[in-house]
Amino acid sequence: MLSTKIVIAGGFGAGKTTLVGSVSEIPPVATEAIMTEASVGHDDTTATPFKTTTTVAMDFGRITVDRELILYMFGTPGQSRFWFMWDDLVRGAVGAVVVVDCRRLADSFDAVDYFETNQRIPYIVALNRFDGHLDYSIDQVREALEVGPDVQIVDFDARDTQSCGSVLMALLRHALEHPKDTELVG
């Protein structure tokens, strides 16, 4: 049995915690904290007015892909004040999913830049369908994020287990087709 690590990254409130929770076969570990007045001016909740918590360290989940492979999912915090943890969370990962909320494309720029700069980790972009639709086409998002054709962009619903599973399978296929300095752990 092989196990491997993947990272779920993206901006604040994009759906990272929801994705991990939707597919994890174990109760996911979430370091969610209640948002306080200290987040005012830091966390823009305009597009997510009902959001009351935020990830302060990481999310963790596990999914058995088949009899041969187990995925360990590590979700990053989305706010810049927690980015110091990203290098540690990403270390050893075979790939990453950058979750994007199309209502707030600019919130995903830093996550995309991180993986573009960190060339050793293949990544894909996953557009979360809030309210069942996307505000932009995949081509428009590709242009806005300034990612090349080698970066796969998929759309999904972070609340739907099958949809999230499709994202993870797309990442695994992409990582196998674009191996970098990553390895499976046996």
pLDDT (tens digit per residue) in 35-68: 555 554 555 555 554 555 555 557 899 999 999 9
Residue 24 inside a domain? The answer is yes
Count of structural domains within the chain: 1
Question: Considering the entire predicted model, what is its pTM?
Answer: 0.83
pLDDT tens, position by position, 102-113: 888 998 999 999
Measured in residues, the chain has a length of 186
- Return d(Cα 74, Cα 69) in angstroms, integer: 16
> Where in the sequence is the domain holding 122, given as residue range(s)?
2-177
Residue 62 inside a domain? The answer is yes
What is the CATH classification number for the domain harbouring 41? 3.40.50.300
Residue 170 inside a domain? The answer is yes
Q: How confident is the model at residue 125 (pLDDT cuts 50, 70, 90)?
A: very high
- Between 30 and 45, the more confident residue is 30
Residue 184 inside a domain? The answer is no
Residue 185 has pLDDT above 50, yes or no: no
Residue 82 inside a domain? The answer is yes
Residue 65 inside a domain? The answer is yes
- Return d(Cα 41, Cα 69) in angstroms, integer: 42
**In the chain, which ranges are continuous DSSP H helix?**
16-23, 86-90, 109-117, 138-145, 161-177
Q: How confident is the model at residue 132 (pLDDT cuts 50, 70, 90)?
A: confident
- Would you call 48 helix, strand, or coil by DSSP? coil
Q: Give residue 53's pLDDT.
A: 54
Residue 95 inside a domain? The answer is yes
- Residue 161 contacts by C-beta under 8 Å, 6 or more apart in sequence? 22, 23
Q: How confident is the model at residue 139 (pLDDT cuts 50, 70, 90)?
A: very high
Residue 183 inside a domain? The answer is no
Query: What is the layout of strands, in order, in the sheet containing 153-156?
Result: 29-34, 53-66, 69-75, 2-10, 95-101, 123-128, 153-156
Give the β-pairing of 2-10 and 95-101.
Answer: parallel
